[in-house]
């Protein structure tokens, strides 16, 4: 057993660091540090810089633009991105539809979509959840009825992140309701400009407009946009949700937030804004959070190391999403506590961080919206309760 990265891995880390220092635009870095909302152009701009370097879709197969990196290299890359305050690419493009098309796409679909997806020439959104199908996703009802060379879609999706910006949607639709509910679901791609699609924004508790309702009224989708076999969309969706685990606990992000907390601790103490016993309590809380983060980090590294030997399901891997999301949320809670009443005057999601009168106090206005919005991470992608159901069933045999 040993903890250290190899000399080759350390050299790779230096290479990533040097690239990020050079390539990350200063305005994007500043927005990330201040927790400002990134608009679509920001995300696209950065993704294209990464893509030009060949690092936009590193875990895709090499023939589709990926890198033959080891799990350790992927871990290092993600951690360095977070520590450098680099934005993440669109998860819908990079982590979801890309890997799905690499695995299940027809040659025509790969040709048409993959390069454009890696470069975000196409901005994707995900149409999974419905008003009656959240945790119980398989009970979804939006129908796709075959009529000649088309499916005709009717129904509604909800919580569709970034649908207002999206060029295309990938989603799950019911093509057959006669059998088990997991059967008869099909995975379809649709152009968001198709007539019959209505997007309606949902305001979330951080004041943001990232989530939407999407309504389908006789929307015609060509049959060539079916991914995988008709009725086998559930298998495709499971692949999408379980494909990447070298970064699932998001240790880098939490470390970056921790360093922000440590910086705040020092600055507020130096300014006399923390009484001595407040300082002690904060130091104790930070030590507690750091212990939890260290334990999670080591657990993630155990999984990374195991994946290098072939991986497979194991107990350590199963806890990463639940504990990782709890950790991310805890960080935002602590920053919000530090902001105190001054943090009440946010100007909402879209302007967080920009309204502060003092140049370095953007964190105060950004704290609460960030705290509020981060509640979603333990809900989406299979809530933490669903994760526990899965662990109880698959690992404990309960």
Partner 1 sequence: MDFELSDEQKMLQDTINRFVSETYDFQQREHAQRTSEGWSRAAWSGLADMGLLALPFAEEDGGFGGGGVEMMVVMEAIGRGLMLEPYWATVVLAGAAIRQAASVEQKAEIVPAVASGQRILAMAHNEPGLPRHTLDVRTVATPVADGWQLDGTKIAVIHGQSADTLVVSARTPHGQGLFLVDAQTPGVMIEPARGYDGVPVATTMLTGVRVPATALLGSGHDGRAILERVFEEATAALVAEGVGVMAETFDLTVGYLKTRQQFGVAIGSFQALQHRAVDMLMQLELSRSMAVLAALSLDADADQRRRNISAAKAQSGKAGRIVGQEAVQMHGAIGITSEYKVGHAFKRLTAIDALLGDRDWHLARLVELGGVYSAS
Q: How does DSSP assign 232-256, residue by residue?
A: BHHHHHHHHHTS--TTTT-HHHHHH
| Contact between 30 and partner 1 per CB under 8 A | no
Across 217-237, b (16+ Cβ under 10 Å) vs e yields eebebeeebbbbebbbbbebb
DSSP letter, residue 228: S
Choices 164-172, 179-187, 232-240, 278-286 (CB under 8 A): range interacting with partner 1: 278-286
Q: Whose Cβ is closer to partner 1: residue 213's or residue 292's?
A: 292
| Contact between 382 and partner 1 per CB under 8 A | no
Report CA-CA distances (Å) from 61 to 55, 177, 246, 251, 381: 12, 35, 16, 24, 23
Report CA-CA distances (Å) from 115 to 56, 62, 84, 122, 302: 11, 12, 26, 9, 33
How deeply is 380 buried, as exposed, middle or buried, from its count of CB atoms within 10 A (0-12, 13-18, 19+)?
middle
The correct pick among 294, 337, 340, 342 for binding partner 1 (CB under 8 A) is 294
The correct pick among 74, 323, 349, 376 for binding partner 1 (CB under 8 A) is 323
Binding positions for partner 1, 69-98, rule CB under 8 A: 72
Measured distance CA(155)–CA(215) in Å, rounded = 6
Choices 1-9, 113-121, 154-162, 233-241 (CB under 8 A): range interacting with partner 1: 1-9
Q: Whose Cβ is closer to partner 1: residue 205's or residue 315's?
A: 315
| Closest distance of CB 337 from partner 1, Å | 17
Q: Is 244 a catalytic residue?
A: yes
Q: How do strand 124-127 and strand 168-174 relate by DSSP bridges?
A: parallel
Which H/E stretch holds residue 154?
strand 150-158
| Contact between 8 and partner 1 per CB under 8 A | no
| Contact between 316 and partner 1 per CB under 8 A | yes
| Contact between 49 and partner 1 per CB under 8 A | no
- Measured over all CA atoms, what is the biggest interatomic distance in the chain, rounded to whole angstroms? 74
| Contact between 16 and partner 1 per CB under 8 A | no
Measured distance CA(319)–CA(295) in Å, rounded = 12
Which H/E stretch holds residue 124?
strand 124-127
The correct pick among 17, 255, 267, 375 for binding partner 1 (CB under 8 A) is 255
The count of residues interacting with partner 1 (CB under 8 A) is: 47
Binding positions for partner 1, 147-186, rule CB under 8 A: none
Among candidate residues 244, 290, 326, 333, the one labeled active-site is 244
| Closest distance of CB 274 from partner 1, Å | 14
Question: Which stretches of the chain bind partner 1, using CB under 8 A?
Answer: 1-6, 9, 72, 255, 258, 262, 280, 283-284, 286-288, 290-296, 298-299, 301-302, 304-306, 309, 315-316, 318-319, 322-323, 385, 388-389, 391-392, 395-398
Question: Which residues are part of the catalytic machinery?
Answer: 244
């Amino acid at each position: 057993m040993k903890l250290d990265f190899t000399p080759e891995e350390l050299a790779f880390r230096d290479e990533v660091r040097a690239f990020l220092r050079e390539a990350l635009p200063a305005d994007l870095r500043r927005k990330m540090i201040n927790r400002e909302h990134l608009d679509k152009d920001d995300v696209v701009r950065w993704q294209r810089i990464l893509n030009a370097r060949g690092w936009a879709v590193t875990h895709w197969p090499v023939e589709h633009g990926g890198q033959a990196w080891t799990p350790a290299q992927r871990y290092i890359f993600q951690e360095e991105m977070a520590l450098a305050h680099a934005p993440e690419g669109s998860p819908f493009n990079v982590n979801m539809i890309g890997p799905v098309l690499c695995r299940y796409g027809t040659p025509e679909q790969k040709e048409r979509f993959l390069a454009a997806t890696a470069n975000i020439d196409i901005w994707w959104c995900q149409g999974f959840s419905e008003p009656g199908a959240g945790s119980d996703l398989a009970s979804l009802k939006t129908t796709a009825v075959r009529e000649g060379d088309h499916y005709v879609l009717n129904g509604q999706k909800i919580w569709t992140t970034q649908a207002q910006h999206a060029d295309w949607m990938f989603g799950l639709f019911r093509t057959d309701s006669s059998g088990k509910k997991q059967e008869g679901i099909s995975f379809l791609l649709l152009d968001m400009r198709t007539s019959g699609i209505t997007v309606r924004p949902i305001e979330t508790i951080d004041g943001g407009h990232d989530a939407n309702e999407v309504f389908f009224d006789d929307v015609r989708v060509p049959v060539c946009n079916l991914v995988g076999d008709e009725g086998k969309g559930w298998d495709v969706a499971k692949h999408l949700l379980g494909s990447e685990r070298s970064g699932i606990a998001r240790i880098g992000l939490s470390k970056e937030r921790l360093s922000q907390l440590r910086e705040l601790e020092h600055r507020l103490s130096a300014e006399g804004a923390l009484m001595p016993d407040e300082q002690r309590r904060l130091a104790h809380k930070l030590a507690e959070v750091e212990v939890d983060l260290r334990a999670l980090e080591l657990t993630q590294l155990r999984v990374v190391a195991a994946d290098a030997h072939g991986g497979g399901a194991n107990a350590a891997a199963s806890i990463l999403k639940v504990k990782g999301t709890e950790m991310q949320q805890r960080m935002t809670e602590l920053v919000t506590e530090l902001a105190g009443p001054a943090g009440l005057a946010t100007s909402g999601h879209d302007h967080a961080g920009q309204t502060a009168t003092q140049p370095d106090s953007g964190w105060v206005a950004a704290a609460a919206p960030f705290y509020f919005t981060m509640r979603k991470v333990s809900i989406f992608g299979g809530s933490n309760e669903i994760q526990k159901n899965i662990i109880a069933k698959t690992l404990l045999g309960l």
